């Protein structure tokens, strides 16, 4: 009997040793480095990997082979040394990749109105909050996502799970992930373009949890990542001894801060210095520095109507620093009021007293390769004052540094196109022209290669969130029959205005 026990122990030891031997080179060093981080730092790394799409699991602050693989895969995908160690370069890259996503999602930690337990909710998507007897629901005017966070008293975990499985089956959904533990269950299901995720925990004599439904065809949304982050927030809230998962505080990387090749915002050159100001004062020693008064800015750009009562969108950099802002209306320029600016997303909301003949219809979920058209008033005083219309395609679904708030487009644009509408082949507004690559800097950086038509537009989904946050109701459109380019040009001109900054 003793021999059998010893034999079993040796077998077990051999199995463990064999497993240890299969770990790749660098695993031990990566594990040691990870364990050297604070709990908060470990949780932050896993949370950012969740948002980046490399770690679909709760941030438990525990190093494992799965986490090692996630880190090395992220590093490899981002041109970093795939060591599995969270180096400063890896941390910086995690921050820059996920910052625009967190900016888009706009997660807030919201309490269940019945029991006070908190859950992450992507309020940046413009969700509308509605309370009911057992909890709270969050609906999306664009129908991208729906979240129900409720408590069901006097219901066992087992009964709740069985009822949800039956409901999903009756709806024709295909159940995928389906796990039950002592204190919670989680289910994923698919039905056409609709994905559902449920997570419910035991709570008193009932269950507390959420149901998330999202459009799985909307690549900009990254619903699977939202699903993981919301689930992680609930796991942390409901699991004893689980690490706290704070909302990441990350700065959204600006286009100007991206390393070579750096994009240059489409805007007019700075105004020349005032004649009375001496560029090089005759002083032997440097004079004490003091704040320099900001000179009035002068420039131009484009805007377009998004409502029938005169609300317009443009870029924040078009109106930033202006004493007055005017737009074309009839045969003259009319002064307008800048209602709001969002410098982080380079958006500005303008209110005019103009009643437009037409206004833009918002469409999200644009696909790679779709045809698009740009309209604007570029190079004022040089090109046509009647506007400029160009054709192109969506050439990438993200901007510089995989910034998910932007499209890359091939439609030619020039200074002055900033703030102009980017339309699809049905005439819907899908983006705002905002930036272009600096061809000269690109040529220097690549020893002679000149970038052609590498331009960027802010996605309509980002603009829609901005409008919703300021209480502006807009109309949505859909991709229908293709219009002739000349008809789209007429529509674009009808909804667009020349914007003058003084």
- Residues whose CB falls within 8 Å of the CB of residue 142, separated by 6 or more in sequence, listed in order: 125, 126, 362, 364, 461, 464, 476
Residue ending a domain, among 216, 238, 260, is 238
Does 7 reside within a domain? no
How many C-beta atoms surround the C-beta of residue 205 within 10 A? 9
Provide the CA 175 distance to its chain's centre, in angstroms.
28
Burial, 1: exposed, middle or buried (Cβ in 10 Å; 0-12, 13-18, 19+)?
Answer: exposed
Beta strands in 307-465 (DSSP E): 311-314, 325-329, 332-342, 347-351, 371-376, 388-396, 406-409, 421-424, 429-437, 455-459
Contact 257, 461 (CB under 8 A): no
Measured CA to CA, the distance from residue 442 to residue 445 in angstroms comes to 5
Contact 260, 437 (CB under 8 A): no
Measured CA to CA, the distance from residue 10 to residue 13 in angstroms comes to 5
Are 468 and 336 members of one domain? yes
pLDDT of residue 413: 78
Query: Mind giving me the DSSP string for 274-317?
Result: PTTS-SS---SSPPPP-PPPPPPP-EEEEEEE-STTSEEEE-HH
Would you state the structure tokens that stand for residue 398, as one six-digit string? 């993200």
Are 218 and 321 members of one domain? no
pLDDT of residue 191: 94
Residue ending a domain, among 192, 212, 238, is 238
pLDDT of residue 13: 34
Largest pairwise CA distance in the chain: 102
Are 57 and 152 members of one domain? no
Does 352 reside within a domain? yes
Are 82 and 160 members of one domain? no
Sign of CA dihedral 245, 57, 99, 315: negative
Measured CA to CA, the distance from residue 231 to residue 278 in angstroms comes to 60
**Gyration radius (Cα) of the chain, Å:** 27
Query: Which residue in the block uniquely carries the two structure tokens 């484009």?
Result: 302
Q: What is the mean pLDDT of each run of 10 residues along the chain (502 residues)?
A: 38 37 82 94 95 92 93 92 95 91 90 91 90 92 94 93 95 92 94 95 96 92 95 94 81 34 34 38 38 48 93 91 84 86 88 93 90 84 69 87 82 81 95 64 40 76 87 88 93 93 86
Are 69 and 181 members of one domain? no
Closest residue by Cα to residue 405 from 105, 145, 140: 105
Domain count, the chain: 3
Within 13 Å, how many C-alpha atoms sit on residue 147's CB side?
25
Query: Mind giving me the DSSP string for 238-261?
Result: HSTTPPP-PPP--PPPPGGGSPSS
Closest residue by Cα to residue 317 from 297, 293, 346: 346
Query: Which residue in the block uniquely carries the two structure tokens 């000269």?
Result: 440
Measured CA to CA, the distance from residue 267 to residue 432 in angstroms comes to 14
Provide the CA 317 distance to its chain's centre, in angstroms.
20
Does 285 reside within a domain? no
Does 229 reside within a domain? yes
Are 305 and 443 members of one domain? yes
Query: Which residue in the block uniquely carries the two structure tokens 């009375």?
Result: 276
Measured CA to CA, the distance from residue 355 to residue 372 in angstroms comes to 26
Beta strands in 343-405 (DSSP E): 347-351, 371-376, 388-396
Beta strands in 159-270 (DSSP E): 174-180, 184-191, 194-203, 206-215, 263-265
Closest residue by Cα to residue 357 from 339, 390, 330, 324: 330
Would you state the structure tokens that stand for residue 1, as one six-digit string? 């009997």
pTM of the predicted protein model: 0.55
Measured CA to CA, the distance from residue 349 to residue 409 in angstroms comes to 23
Does 126 reside within a domain? yes
Are 306 and 419 members of one domain? yes
Closest residue by Cα to residue 393 from 410, 406, 412: 410
Would you state the structure tokens that stand for residue 41, as one six-digit string? 């730092």
Are 375 and 450 members of one domain? yes
pLDDT of residue 147: 97
Does 440 reside within a domain? yes
Are 349 and 462 members of one domain? yes
Backbone angles phi and psi of 18, in degrees to 5 = -65, -40
Q: Which domain holds residue 40?
A: 23-102
Residue ending a domain, among 171, 205, 238, is 238
Would you state the structure tokens that stand for residue 234, as one six-digit string? 């609930």
Are 324 and 225 members of one domain? no
Query: Mind giving me the DSSP string for 110-129?
Result: EE-TTT--EEEEEGGG--EE
How many C-beta atoms surround the C-beta of residue 426 within 10 A? 17
Are 339 and 408 members of one domain? yes
Does 262 reside within a domain? no
């Amino acid at each position: 009997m003793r021999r059998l026990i010893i034999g079993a122990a040796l077998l077990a030891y051999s199995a463990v040793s064999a497993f240890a031997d299969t770990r790749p080179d660098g695993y031990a060093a990566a594990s040691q480095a990870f364990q050297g981080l604070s709990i908060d730092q470990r949780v932050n790394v896993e949370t950012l990997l969740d948002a980046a799409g490399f770690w679909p699991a709760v941030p438990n602050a525990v190093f494992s082979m799965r986490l090692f693989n996630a880190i090395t895969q992220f590093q490899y995908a981002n041109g970093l040394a795939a060591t599995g160690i969270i180096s400063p370069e890896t941390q910086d890259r995690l921050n820059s990749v996920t910052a625009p996503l967190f900016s888009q999602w706009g997660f807030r930690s919201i309490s269940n109105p019945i029991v006070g337990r908190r859950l992450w909710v992507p309020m940046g998507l413009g969700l509308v909050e509605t309370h009911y007897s057992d909890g709270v629901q969050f609906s999306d005017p664009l129908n991208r996502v729906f979240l129900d966070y409720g408590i069901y008293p006097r219901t066992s975990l087992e009964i709740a799970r069985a009822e949800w499985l039956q409901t999903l089956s009756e709806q024709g959904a295909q159940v995928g992930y389906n796990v039950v533990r002592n204190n919670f269950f989680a289910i994923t299901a698919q039905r056409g373009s609709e994905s559902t995720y449920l997570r419910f925990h035991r709570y008193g004599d009932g269950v507390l949890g959420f149901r998330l439904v999202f459009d799985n065809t909307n690549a900009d949304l990254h619903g699977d990542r939202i699903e993981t982050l919301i689930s992680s927030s609930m796991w942390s809230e409901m699991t004893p001894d689980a690490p706290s998962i704070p909302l990441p505080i990350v700065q959204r990387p600006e286009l100007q801060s991206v390393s070579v090749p750096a994009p240059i915002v489409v805007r007019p050159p700075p105004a020349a210095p005032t004649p009375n100001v001496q560029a090089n004062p005759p002083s032997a020693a440097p004079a004490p520095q003091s704040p320099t008064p900001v000179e009035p800015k002068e420039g131009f750009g484009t805007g377009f109507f998004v409502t029938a009562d005169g609300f317009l969108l443009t870029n924040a950099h078009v109106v930033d620093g202006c004493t007055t802002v005017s737009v074309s209306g009839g045969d003259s320029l009319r002064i307008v009021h800048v209602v709001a600016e969002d410098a982080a997303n380079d958006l500005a909301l303008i209110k005019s007293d103009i009643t437009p003949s037409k206004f833009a219809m918002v469409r999200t979920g644009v696909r790679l390769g779709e045809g698009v058209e740009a309209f604007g008033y570029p190079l004022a005083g040089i090109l046509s004052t009647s506007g400029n219309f160009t054709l192109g395609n969506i050439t990438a679904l993200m901007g510089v540094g995989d910034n998910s708030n932007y499209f890359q487009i091939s439609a030619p644009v020039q200074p002055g196109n900033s703030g102009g509408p980017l339309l699809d082949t049905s005439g819907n507004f899908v983006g705002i022209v905002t930036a272009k690559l600096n061809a000269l800097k690109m040529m220097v950086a690549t020893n002679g290669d000149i970038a052609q038509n590498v331009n960027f537009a802010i996605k309509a989904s980002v603009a829609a969130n901005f409008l919703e946050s300021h209480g502006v109701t807009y109309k949505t459109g859909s991709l229908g029959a293709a219009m002739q380019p000349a008809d789209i040009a007429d529509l674009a001109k009808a909804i667009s205005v020349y914007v003058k900054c003084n």
